[in-house]
Each structure stands twice: as structure tokens, then as C-alpha cells.
């Protein structure tokens, strides 16, 4: 099955008020062309799930600057001052999650688990309102699964069936997010015919991918 589609097909799948996961770590592995589509379509009310909110002068950060986001679930927001300003002004809701916990919450959703117990955050505001459990004399917080309506991801190479290869640290959150969204859309630097990729290099199997943006 050829999953490569044009931008019009992608636009048809995007609506206001969606929970959207964004692959990437700062500017590494961020699906900038897919973010351009969100900006062009003036999509709003986004709940943004990702490692961070980028920079004010870059694509991901532009979603914040242009006030397209109503809630952020991320590990840090320090590189985007506008996120902090909007949070302090009550214009946006921000849920800060320790990075390892964020990954595990996403992984839990993709694996069909009920959550994960972690000691990270014990004795801090992170534990407020959460169930805790003592295991072998050590206290843990129950962190619940985190899924999304849509995941926008970036790959180095994709074949037409959606098998993905990532390059170096640009892999980051992308593979785990591919398993945790109802709809997965990918932007790739290169799209190749089925059978071209070395199966041993494929990190995300095509079964997890719904669409690949035709960037030609």
C-alpha cells in the first residue's frame, strides 16, 4: 500500500482542538513541513505533546507565538520565552513532565499498559494528586499513559509502505510516538520504493504509519 499523499490529504485529517504529538528534541527531528501545514490552516486549540516547545523564531515555537496551542505537555519550555509568558498570564496551560517519565507515559499508551511506577518526582510538586505505592520499601508515583489523536513525525528515510529509518539523534521521540497516536503522519527527507530499505535498519514498521507527506 502506497501511503504517500499530498498536503491536501493531510489537511483533511487535521482539525481544531486535537491532541497532537510532535517528534523532535529542540530542532532535531522536528517535522517542520507538517508544522507549516498547521500554521497555514490556522489550526487552533492544540494540546501539544512533545519534549519541548522549540524556539520563538522556529516552526514548533511559532505554534505558541501564534497562539494555536491551548495546553502543553512537555519536559521543558525554557527555550521558548513566549510559552512561559503565556503560562504566567494564564493564556496557556502547561504540564511539565520529567523527560524519562514523559517517554514512559507515551510508551505505556502504545504498549497498552495501565501506566508506569516511577520514583522520579517523589517529594516534589510532580507527585501532587497522584497515586503512590511502596514497592520493596521504596516509594513510587503512578504515572498514567499518554496518547494523542495525531502524531506528526520526522524520519530520515521512508519507503512508500511507511517503514521508517531515523538518523542519529534525530530518532529521539519519533519511534515511541508512532505507537501512541490514533493517526500517524510522517515527513521524511527521502521517500524510496518498497524493498529499498535494509530491513535491519527499519526502526518504525509501516504498520504504525498512516500517511507520508509527499515533499517532492
pLDDT of the residue at 216 = 72
pLDDT of the residue at 155 = 98
| DSSP-derived 3-state class of residue 107 | helix
Running DSSP on this structure, what letter comes out for residue 127? G
Q: How many beta carbons lie within 10 A of that of residue 160, not counting itself?
A: 17
**Residues in Cβ contact with 85 at an 8 Å cutoff, skipping those fewer than 6 apart:** none
pLDDT of the residue at 150 = 98
Whether the CB-CB separation of 160 and 166 falls below 8 Å is answered with no
Q: Please report, in angstroms and rounded to a whole number, the separation of the first and last CA atoms in the chain.
A: 19
Whether the CB-CB separation of 80 and 69 falls below 8 Å is answered with no
Residue 208 grid coordinates: 504504525
Cα(111)–Cα(114) distance, rounded to whole angstroms? 9
Give the pLDDT confidence of 137-161 residue by residue, as tens digits.
Answer: 999 999 999 999 999 999 999 999 9
Residue 36 grid coordinates: 507549516
Residue 136 grid coordinates: 520493596
**What does the H/E/C string look like for 141-207?**
EEECCCCEEEEEEEEEEEECCCCEECCHHHHCCHHHHCCCEEEEEEEEEEEECCCCCCHHHCCECHH
Nearest to 29 by CA among 163, 176, 179, 192: 176
pLDDT of the residue at 215 = 81
| DSSP-derived 3-state class of residue 19 | strand
pLDDT of the residue at 29 = 97
Q: What is the pLDDT along the chain (216 residues), one digit of tens a residue?
A: 899 999 999 999 999 999 999 999 999 999 999 999 999 999 999 999 999 999 999 999 999 999 999 999 999 999 999 999 999 999 999 999 999 999 999 999 999 999 999 999 999 999 999 999 999 999 999 999 999 999 999 999 999 999 999 999 999 999 999 999 999 999 999 999 999 999 999 999 999 999 999 987
Q: How many beta carbons lie within 10 A of that of residue 6, not counting itself?
A: 12
Residue 185 grid coordinates: 503522519
**Residues in Cβ contact with 70 at an 8 Å cutoff, skipping those fewer than 6 apart:** 17, 44, 45, 46, 47, 92, 93
Whether the CB-CB separation of 35 and 14 falls below 8 Å is answered with no
pLDDT of the residue at 44 = 97
Q: What is the pTM of this model?
A: 0.96
Q: What are the structural domains of the chain?
A: 4-112+147-213 (3.40.1080.10)
Partners of 191 in beta bridges: 158
Amino acid at each position: 500500500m502506497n501511503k504517500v499523499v499530498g498536503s491536501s490529504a493531510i489537511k483533511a485529517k487535521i482539525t481544531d482542538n486535537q491532541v497532537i504529538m510532535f517528534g523532535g528534541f529542540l530542532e532535531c527531528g522536528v517535522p517542520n513541513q507538517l508544522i507549516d501545514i498547521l500554521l497555514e490552516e490556522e489550526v487552533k486549540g492544540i494540546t501539544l505533546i512533545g519534549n519541548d516547545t522549540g524556539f520563538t523564531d522556529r516552526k514548533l515555537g511559532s505554534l505558541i507565538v501564534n497562539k494555536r496551542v491551548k495546553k502543553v505537555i512537555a519536559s521543558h519550555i525554557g527555550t521558548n520565552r513566549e510559552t512561559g509568558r503565556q503560562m504566567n498570564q494564564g493564556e496557556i496551560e502547561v504540564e511539565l513532565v520529567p523527560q524519562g517519565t514523559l517517554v514512559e507515559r507515551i510508551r505505556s499508551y502504545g504498549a497498552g499498559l495501565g501506566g508506569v511506577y516511577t520514583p522520579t518526582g517523589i517529594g516534589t510538586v510532580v507527585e501532587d494528586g497522584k497515586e503512590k505505592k511502596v514497592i520493596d520499601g521504596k516509594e513510587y508515583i503512578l504515572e498514567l499513559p499518554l496518547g494523542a489523536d495525531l502524531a506528526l513525525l520526522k524520519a530520515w528515510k521512508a519507503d512508500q509502505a511507511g517503514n521508517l529509518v531515523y538518523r542519529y539523534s534525530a530518532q529521539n521521540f519519533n519511534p515511541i510516538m508512532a505507537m501512541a497516536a490514533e493517526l500517524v503522519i510522517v515527513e521524511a527527507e527521502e521517500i524510496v520504493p518498497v524493498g529499498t530499505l535494509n530491513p535491519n535498519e527499519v526502526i518504525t514498521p509501516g504498520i504504525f504509519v498512516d500517511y507520508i507527506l509527499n515533499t517532492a
